C-alpha cells in the first residue's frame, strides 16, 4: 500500500517538474478573456432537467474538480494559464504520477471579489457534478475596499456549496499576501490580508470546511525573485513556479479527498 505522503511526493514532483519547464519565461502579463476547462478534460455529463446531478450518481471513474476564485486561481501572470495555473498543474500531477483520471473546470475569473464569485461562479458548480470544489478569493475585496461584506459572502458561498457536496469535499485556499510585492504595498492596510484570511477561517470552521494555507510558499518571494512575474511596472502575480508550490501544498488534501474509500 502506498501511503498518502509517499503517493503525494510523486504528485508534487510532477507539478514542480512541470513548473520548472514553464516558469522561466513568465514575464508576460497579458490576460486571456476567460477561463475554460483544461486541455484533455472531459465535458460534464448533463443533469436531467429539474434535477441536480451529483458525483455520487455517476458511473464513470473520472474525478471532477471545480475551482472558484479570482486571478490567483485563474493563473493570471503566467504565459499559459490553462497550463501553468495551480489548478492546471495540480491536475497534471495527479494524472502523470497519481494515475487518476481528472476532469478540471477552472471557473475562476480575473478581478473577481467574493460577491462576484457568489453571483456568477457558484451557480455553475452543480451542473459539473464535482467530486471536489476549491475556493480562493479575497484580494479584490481588499483592493476594492469591500471587506465589510466578505464574511457574509464567504458564508453564503459555503452554504451553497454544502447543498452539493459534504464539507470534506470542499476546500478553502488562503489569499496570498499581495503586500509582499512592490505593487501591493499601495493597496490595503498592513493587516488587511491577515484579517481577511481570519474571516475565511472563521466561516470555514463554522461549517467544518478545511482551509489550506499557501502562505508559507508565498512568503518565499522575499528570498526568490523567480516566484513573481518580473515586469515594469511591477505586478502582484505569481509565476508558474510559485503556483507549483501552491499545488504542492493543496495537493495532499485534494488527493486524499478523491482517493479515500477508493479501491
Per residue in 30-71, pLDDT (tens digit) is 333 333 344 444 444 443 333 334 455 555 689 999 999 999
Terminal alpha carbon distance of the chain: 11
Alpha helices in 109-239 (DSSP H): 114-116, 122-125, 139-143, 150-161, 192-205, 215-218
pLDDT greater than 60 at residue 17: no
Q: What is the pLDDT of residue 2?
A: 39
Domain residue ranges of the chain, discontinuous segments joined by +: 4-19+29-41+54-259
pLDDT greater than 80 at residue 260: yes
Per residue in 160-216, pLDDT (tens digit) is 999 999 999 999 999 999 988 888 888 888 799 999 999 999 999 999 999 999 999
Name the CATH architecture for the domain at 4-19+29-41+54-259.
Answer: 3-Layer(aba) Sandwich (3.40)
Q: What is the pLDDT of residue 98?
A: 79
Per residue in 154-170, pLDDT (tens digit) is 999 999 999 999 999 99
Does 208 sit behind a cis peptide bond, omega within 30 degrees of 0 on the bond before it? no
pLDDT greater than 70 at residue 20: no
CA distance 57 to 60: 9
CA distance 138 to 153: 10
Q: What is the pLDDT of residue 28?
A: 40
pLDDT, mean over the chain: 83
**What does pTM read for this prediction?**
0.82
CA distance 97 to 95: 6
CB 126 within 8 A of CB 103: no
Per residue in 70-104, pLDDT (tens digit) is 999 999 999 999 999 999 999 999 998 778 999 99
Residue 162 CB-density burial (10 A; 0-12 exposed, 13-18 middle, 19+ buried) = middle
CB 88 within 8 A of CB 75: yes
Beta bridge partners of 64: 103
Centroid of chain to Cα 238: 13
The DSSP output letter for 232 is S
Centroid of chain to Cα 116: 16
Grid-cell match 513573481, residue found: 228
Radius of gyration of the chain (CA): 17
The mean pLDDT value for 106-132 works out to 97
Would you call 251 helix, strand, or coil by DSSP?
helix
CA distance 149 to 60: 40
DSSP state string for 60-106: S--EEEEEEESHHHHTTTSS-HHHHSHHHHHHHHHHHTT---EEEEE
Amino acid at each position: 500500500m502506498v501511503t498518502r505522503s509517499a503517493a503525494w511526493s510523486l504528485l508534487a514532483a510532477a507539478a514542480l517538474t512541470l513548473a520548472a519547464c514553464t516558469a522561466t519565461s513568465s514575464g508576460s502579463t497579458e490576460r486571456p478573456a476567460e477561463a475554460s476547462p483544461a486541455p484533455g478534460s472531459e465535458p460534464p455529463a448533463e443533469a436531467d432537467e429539474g434535477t441536480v446531478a451529483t458525483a455520487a450518481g455517476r458511473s464513470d471513474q473520472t474525478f471532477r474538480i471545480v475551482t472558484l476564485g479570482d486571478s490567483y486561481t485563474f493563473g493570471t501572470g503566467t504565459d499559459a494559464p490553462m497550463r501553468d495555473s495551480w489548478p492546471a498543474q495540480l491536475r497534471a500531477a495527479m494524472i502523470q504520477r497519481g494515475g487518476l483520471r481528472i476532469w478540471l473546470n477552472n471557473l475562476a475569473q480575473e478581478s473577481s471579489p467574493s460577491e462576484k464569485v457568489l453571483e456568477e461562479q457558484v451557480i455553475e458548480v452543480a451542473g459539473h457534478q464535482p467530486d471536489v470544489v476549491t475556493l480562493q478569493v479575497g484580494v479584490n475585496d481588499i483592493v476594492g475596499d469591500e471587506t465589510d461584506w466578505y464574511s457574509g459572502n464567504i458564508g453564503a458561498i459555503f452554504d451553497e456549496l454544502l447543498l452539493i457536496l459534504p464539507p470534506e469535499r470542499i476546500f478553502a485556499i488562503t489569499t496570498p499576501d499581495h503586500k509582499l510585492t512592490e505593487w501591493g504595498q499601495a493597496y490595503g492596510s498592513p493587516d488587511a490580508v491577515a484579517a481577511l484570511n481570519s474571516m475565511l477561517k472563521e466561516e470555514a470552521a463554522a461549517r467544518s470546511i478545511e482551509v489550506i494555507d499557501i502562505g508559507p510558499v508565498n512568503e518565499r518571494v522575499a528570498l526568490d525573485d523567480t516566484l513573481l512575474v518580473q515586469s515594469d511596472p511591477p505586478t502582484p502575480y505569481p509565476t508558474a513556479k510559485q503556483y507549483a508550490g501552491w499545488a504542492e501544498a493543496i495537493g495532499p488534501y485534494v488527493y486524499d479527498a478523491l482517493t479515500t474509500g477508493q479501491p
